[in-house]
Amino acid sequence: MKKRYVIADVFTDTPFVGNPVAVVLDAEGMSTGQMQQIAAEFGYSETTFVLPPEDRANTAHVRIFTPTREIPFAGHPNVGTAFVLASYATAKDETLPEVLLFEEAAGLVPVRLLKNNGTISGAELRVPELLSCRAEVSAGQVAACLSLEAECISTAVHQPLVASVGLPFLIVELASRDALRRCVPNLQGFRAGRCGVHLCLYPGYNAGGELRFAGEDVHATDDRRSGDRQRDGCGDGAAGFSSR
């Protein structure tokens, strides 16, 4: 079985910088198990698989996998996939619509291509769900998942809260930048199901803008830049690209 694939770096115009995504083209005929094995082999936070759309009015059916599981939606894989498809179309002198429509488990994801002097320079997407706030998690449970003391979790503005625009995340405010830098995901905590799968961490409004993202299925390390996490609470987001 031979399949084409492209590795695209999102949120950058420089190769090997930004947030990488592997885009597997012509994925028709592949089983879920095969897709999961390939995603694990790439080892990126996400790998996408492009399939024919179920509705011909749409551009493609896109499945997204982390190294350990399939997820219903993610930010930078969508914009990276759009860039790759648009680049291939340009190389073949084909025309794609300005807005690509991707069928995904979370719903339909419109991705608008951005051009600079006729050249594709980025994309912006509309999330498939309105922002929803779900369950709260105790500060003690979150601290245990992050190898921190309970007092490092700030609850002055909100409790640790699960929110989603298509993929649920646990949003956690930390008491300081020091806590943000010291936190180390505790895999036993994640596997016990105490904190969910992904966490979006930030050091409070007065500490300046800085985010970290962590989870068991991204090897308990930071997802260097992330689209849907930063868009929780917003309607859309944009990104630039570099392909390898």
- Which sequence positions are flagged as catalytic? 46
| Residues 201 and 143 sit within 8 Å (Cβ to Cβ) | no
H-helix or E-strand containing 174? Answer: none
| Residues 189 and 214 sit within 8 Å (Cβ to Cβ) | no
> Which strand ranges, in their side-by-side order, compose the sheet holding 161-164?
132-136, 161-164, 169-173, 198-202, 212-215
Cα–Cα distance for residue pair 36/41, rounded to 1 Å:
9
Looking from the CA of 238 toward its CB, the CA atoms found within 13 Å total 9
Residue (of 198, 223, 238) closest to 112 by Cα position: 238
Within 8 A by CB and 6+ apart from 56, the residues are none
Residue with tokens 């929780």: 232
